[in-house]
Every structure is written in structure tokens, then in C-alpha cells.
Amino acid sequence: MSPLPPTHVRLAIIGGGPAGLMAAETARAAGIEVDVFEAKGSVGRKFLIAGKGGMNLTHGEPKREFVQRYGARAREVGAWLAAFDADDLREWARGLGVETFVGTSGRVFPSDLKAAPLLRGWVHRLRESGVRFHVHHRWLGWHADGSLRMATPEGERAIRADAVVLALGGGSWPQLGSDGAWQPWLADRGVTVTPLVPSNCGFDIGWTDHLASRFGGSPLKPVVIHLRDAQGREHSRQGECVITATGIEGSLIYAFSGLLRDAIAAHGPTTITLDLAPDRTLDRLRADLARPRGSRSMSEHLRRQSGLAGVKAALLHEVLDRDQFHDAETLARTIKRLPLTLKQARPIEEAISSGGGVRLEGMDEHLMLNALPGVFCAGEMLDWEAPTGGYLLTACFASGRLAGLGASRWIHRSVENRTT
């Protein structure tokens, strides 16, 4: 059981994910006494889960391209990264005894591909530096006098702080703590909060029972996605995705999830097209599929002449009737531009991350809320989003560092003002 926190603390950091822990480390290095409050029984739970398939810490992409991954927030997030970027994050990990490497995809991983050793070493170093941790302490907002309402195993407590860093996460994976419950508490105090929406998520399509039962969970690779965003701009990219029982997900879909989500919100169900045979031209497919098939079945003819079978062939059956499937021209064109209509994004609880949150326009350059002086925010609860590939974590670290610096300066200046 965690010791009861003091009634008054210098810096209260609420949330023990990467952004909160980085804020704690930064403030403690600046000489500030730090108390971290975490609703769950341990810190970094989402960090650990995200690292189960191989801890993708950041990305080795050149800085200019890296910053553009943040889309509409590239300018703001770019300012955070100017002070702490992917190279700095790798150097930080090295300081914890964790070497990293760049994979073939450009993603950066710890040499052992694991998150747990990195987190254990980090928490140990924070404790050794004097950071105090209080688990099973859930923030419930503010009392009328400005003190923090904190639910603890011993009951609710009121805690005063000279400064606060909120690093509460977004709305994805609520079972790990980021449930978005903080939204009304901030809105009630004049903070502009954009509703949380799923990001890096899958989409519902509505397959036939045959495809859903037989091919749900099947990888689809390689394919090229073509889509038009809410502003009518064309996008395309080659990659991999996965057919689910209800629709489609995976890295290629995640890369465009924000655009697709916004297009559906603006115009309703949105159609993408997939090139199922990116290594073959339309002319070659047209000619190969027009060859006589003799006694072979159409499925065998398709496999021999186009290389398509399994889930890719099943997708063709989803959109073509029998006559169309037997017409070489129609079949070739559909292979190169298979239309899929996305009906809606999957629920935010299933998403890898979320968009929306605290509007950056309501904060200063140190991530302090204009409506609540002395209160800073960091991490995924801010209104930005990015694709998977290390971009999410890097920005969380960078924003946590910035908020920790800002809170430290606020506290130091408050002390100076009291002594003059």
C-alpha cells in the first residue's frame, strides 16, 4: 500500500505514463520535490502493453519527415521535438543502460525488444532521485478552494500543490487507466476540450458471414490503399493490413485513420480502394486473365494468372457477382481498385490511441493552461495525434519534458515572488 501523501506538495503529477514520468524526471532534475499520483496499482501499464509485440520506442526517419507525421499539429509538436527529439530519446534510453537499433521499417526498438527492463530501470532511477509514487490514487477533480480531490484506499483526501502536471492519457485502452474521465472537470473550469475520438483504429465494413468467419484475422499484404480525404485530396500508400470479423484494421489503415474518421464524420460512409496486386500492371492482369482457362476452375485460373488466392480472392467475391468475376476486364480492374466502403470507426476503447483533447490554443508555450495558471498538461490528453511507428511515444516524452520544465519554472518563480 502506498504511503499517504502529504496534504501539501510542491509538484503533483497526475498520471504515471511516459509523459507523466518524463515530467517527474525533468522537474526533479531541476530541484523540485515531486509526487506522482497513479490511479492503477503500478505506473506505465499502457507502456508495457504497447511493448508486448516489441517496444517501438521511436522512429529513425529524418527530422523533417518525422515532424510531418503529426499532420495538422506538425508546427506545435515540432516545437516540442526541437527540444527533445528521436535522437534525444535514444540517448535517454542509453542512459538507462538500454541500447536501441533501427529496424528495416525505420522503427527504433530496444536491443532486447522489451519494455519492462526500460520501465523498471526508469522507475528505480526516479525513486532514487527522490520522486515519490502514490499508486491507487485516483484524481477526481478540484475542490472549490482549488485543492485536488484524490480518491485513495483510505478514502478521499484534499491535496494542495504549488503546481500540477496532468498526464492522464486520452480515451483508448480505458482498462489501463486512460478513460477520459477528466474532460468535464477541465471543461467546467474554462478549459477548451475537443471531444476524444478513436485514432489508429479499425473500421467496420460489414462482410458476408462467409468472409467474416473464414478470413477474420487474416493478414492482407502487400496492398496499396487509395483514398480521398474530407478536403478531396488523394492519398495512396503501400503496406499491410488485417481483415477483421467486422471490417479492416492494421498499420496501413492506422496511417490514415484520422483522415478516414474525419471523412466519415463529414460525409458518411467513405469508400477506399485497394490494389491487391501492386506488383502487376493493369495491362498485364487484363492479358493474363483473358487467357483460356480450359477445364480449370475460375479460382484456380485466378491463382495461376494473378497470384491471388485465399483472402484476396474472397474479397473479390465480396464485391463482384458471378458474371463480373468471370469477365477478365472487370476482374482485372477490380484487382487493381477493389472498392471497400468504411461505415464507421471502431469504438475508442479498442483504438491504439485517441485524437481530440485539451486544445493547444488554450495553453502557453510551456503547456500551461491559460484558464488555470500553474496547471500543465502533457501526453495523449492534448489535442494532437500521430500514426503508430514510435511517433506517439516520442511526442508523449517530449511534451512531458516540456511540461516538467514549465512547472519547475512556475514553482521557482513563485518562491522568488514570495521572498521579494
- Summarize pLDDT for 364-415 with one digit per residue, the tens: 999 999 999 999 999 999 999 999 999 999 999 999 999 999 999 999 998 7
Question: Do 123 and 224 lie in a common domain?
Answer: no
Concatenating the DSSP letter of every residue in 304-327 gives HHH---HHHHHHHHHH--HHHHT-
> Radius of gyration over alpha carbons of the chain, in Å?
25
For residue 382, the 8-state DSSP code is B
Task: From 288, 311, 345, give the residue that closes a domain.
Answer: 345
Write phi, then psi, for 235 (nearest 5 degrees).
Answer: -135, 145
pLDDT at 216 over 60: yes
Nearest-angstrom CA–CA distance, 202 and 351: 7
Question: Do 103 and 158 lie in a common domain?
Answer: yes
Question: Do 71 and 88 lie in a common domain?
Answer: yes
For residue 28, the 8-state DSSP code is H
Looking at the structure of the chain, the number of domains it has is 2
Residue 3 lies in a domain: no
Nearest-angstrom CA–CA distance, 188 and 194: 13
> pLDDT-derived band of residue 34, with 50, 70 and 90 as boundaries?
very high
Question: Do 257 and 279 lie in a common domain?
Answer: yes
Question: Do 38 and 176 lie in a common domain?
Answer: yes
Which pLDDT value is given to residue 261? 94
Nearest-angstrom CA–CA distance, 383 and 390: 18
Query: What is the tens place of the pLDDT at every residue in 90-102?
Result: 999 999 999 999 9
> Which stretches within 112-256 are classed as H helix?
116-129, 183-187, 209-215, 251-254
> pLDDT-derived band of residue 251, with 50, 70 and 90 as boundaries?
very high
Nearest-angstrom CA–CA distance, 239 and 165: 38
Write phi, then psi, for 369 (nearest 5 degrees).
Answer: -70, 125
**Helix, strand, or coil here: 246?**
coil
Residue 2 lies in a domain: no
Per the structure, the complete domain to which residue 290 belongs is given by 203-345
Question: Do 210 and 237 lie in a common domain?
Answer: yes
Nearest-angstrom CA–CA distance, 120 and 128: 12
Q: Mean pLDDT, to the nearest integer, of 37-62?
A: 91
**Helix, strand, or coil here: 267?**
helix
Question: Do 245 and 301 lie in a common domain?
Answer: yes
Q: Mean pLDDT, to the nearest integer, of 320-333?
A: 96
Contact 143, 133 (CB under 8 A): no
Write phi, then psi, for 293 (nearest 5 degrees).
Answer: -105, -5
- What is the CATH classification number for the domain harbouring 123? 3.50.50.60
Residue 271 lies in a domain: yes
Nearest-angstrom CA–CA distance, 148 and 144: 9
Q: Mean pLDDT, to the nearest integer, of 134-159?
A: 95
**Helix, strand, or coil here: 93?**
helix
Percent of the chain with pLDDT over 90: 90
Q: Mean pLDDT, to the nearest integer, of 132-158?
A: 95
Nearest-angstrom CA–CA distance, 248 and 235: 18
Residue count (the chain): 420
Nearest-angstrom CA–CA distance, 250 and 258: 14
Nearest-angstrom CA–CA distance, 134 and 378: 19
Question: Do 216 and 250 lie in a common domain?
Answer: yes
Residue 1 lies in a domain: no
Residue 287 lies in a domain: yes
